[in-house]
Amino acid sequence: AFLHWMGNCFAGSADRDSALHWLTKTLMGAATENQAFKMLDGSGLSPKNLISASNMTAFLHLLTLARPDKNFWEWIPEFLPVPEKSRSPGTKCSLRLKSGSMERVKAYAGYCMRGEQPAYAISIMVNNFVAEPAAVKRRISSFLVDLDELLCK
């Protein structure tokens, strides 16, 4: 649904092929590692696709510059850390992150928010991990809480 919404908002058509064409063209223009980008379908974690964390953060940053009037980040859920590590009281920022996972892959992408506006684009991807998925999720959550507090100082 997010791909179709972006296509409608930025390319003028919610058609899947039009949205993918716009996404590919935009990401290729924003990508710092064009060899690390290949989009064959709309699934962010599909094994057919290739996108680096650098590509994703460049793209997210570009979206905030291209259409500041479209608060698309409101569609991205607020990140809720695992109970073992919660935010410090009085933290002024929040994270809006979309998660994705498949076998031995866990990823988050979105924004560190200051008030209602994105302050930083964030992307973290862990591939081919051998730990239990719950342990990986806890470690990523702990890292993101620390990052959020560091960026909000």
pLDDT digits (tens, 9 = 90+) for 70-82: 787 888 888 877 6
Predicted pLDDT at 92: 59
Q: pLDDT > 70: what percent of the chain?
A: 71
Paired sense of beta strands 105-114 and 117-127, if any = antiparallel
Pick from 5-14, 20-29, 65-74, 110-119: least confident = 20-29
Global pTM? Answer: 0.72
Quote the CA–CA distance of 137 and 124 in Å, as a whole number: 12
30 Cβ neighbours under 8 A, 6+ residues apart: 55, 58, 59, 61, 62
Q: Which of 6-10, 32-36, 61-65 has the highest mean pLDDT?
A: 61-65
Quote the CA–CA distance of 127 and 119 in Å, as a whole number: 26
Over residues 47-66, the mean pLDDT reads 79
Predicted pLDDT at 88: 62
Quote the CA–CA distance of 110 and 121 in Å, as a whole number: 6
